[in-house]
Amino acid sequence: MATVHAAVEPSHAEEAHHGSIWPFVIGIGTGIGFGGLIVWFPFAFVGLAVIVAGLAGWLLEDARGVRFGEVTTPTEPGIFGVVSIRKLGMWVFIVSEILFFSAIIGNSLALRTRAPWWPTPGVDSPLNIPITAVNTFILITSSFTMVQALKGIERGNLLHFRLALLATLLLGLTFVSIQVFEYSKLFFEEHLTPWQNPIAPELATFGTTFYMQTGFHGAHVSGGVIGLAYLNYKAWKKDWFTPKSHEAVELVGLYWHFVDIVWIFLFPLVYLI
């Protein structure tokens, strides 16, 4: 995804090509941040600072006119003749994320088998299943509106594209807001913490696995919301996205569908089983 196409003046016949260092910087910051969570927590803030710097650099580059190029039939040899480098990069990233979430879920299940006590859903569990079920429906619906946004720009229907994209952003913001509300209720009223506390010590292992799984997913959804906000901003710029130039919409859409699918697995595992 590091390769981007530079925007040009209308008089130019061809677009210029160059690379961008900022996706690499964001990746390095992410690695430092996750490493800090495991090894030494202060490094997590260092990683966050690097991520913010990478995003700022990317946005500055974007403000200067850098954009994704036209969606055309690739002409490069090998695998790049089938799929663009940027889309291949997104698929590789998604595969790495599948491994990441598989490790988190597997670790949580292992901790669950060793926990001295585990709450029963709907009986003595502190989780609010009805509100989370509604939140799950909201997130699944956002995948539908994302598909509609892509269809709209592919057909050149800008109004359809913009409205569907805005709906996706609003649904994503709603999901994150409900999750923040749920976290505040669980933490301050139900005393569900990611560590052991004297008020509800029996929930220590459950709290650790709950926040680890839903917290990392929530962070990924928040990242997707930032991407959707970017798309919504650019969607109202004249000729920025066209039927032949909308690969950014496809890439953000792939990521958004991925976080939706992950939640379809997490919801029953964490809340219902």
Domain limits, the chain: 1-67, 84-272
Question: 146's torsion region: left (phi>0), alpha (psi -120 to 50) or beta?
Answer: alpha
The pLDDT of 230-258, averaged and rounded, is: 90
Could you tell me which CATH class the domain 1-67 is placed in? mainly alpha
* pTM of this structure: 0.82
Q: Using the 8-state DSSP alphabet, how is residue 81 labeled?
A: G
Sorting pLDDT into bands at 50, 70 and 90, what band is 88? Answer: confident
CA distance 195 to 85: 42
Long-range contacts of 37-40 (CB under 8 A, 24+ apart): none
| pLDDT at residue 14 in the model | 39
CB 64 within 8 A of CB 237: no
Highest-confidence range of 122-126, 239-243, 259-263, by mean pLDDT?
Answer: 259-263
Q: Quote the CA–CA distance of 242 and 144 in Å, as a whole number.
A: 20
Residue range 228-248: average pLDDT? 88
pLDDT averaged over the chain? 85
- Please determine, looking at this structure, whether the domain spanning 84-272 carries the CATH number 3.40.50.720: no
* Dist. CA 252–CA 97, nearest whole Å: 15
Q: What's the one-letter identity of residue 162?
A: R
Lay out the sheet containing 16-19: strands in order across: 16-19, 3-6, 66-67
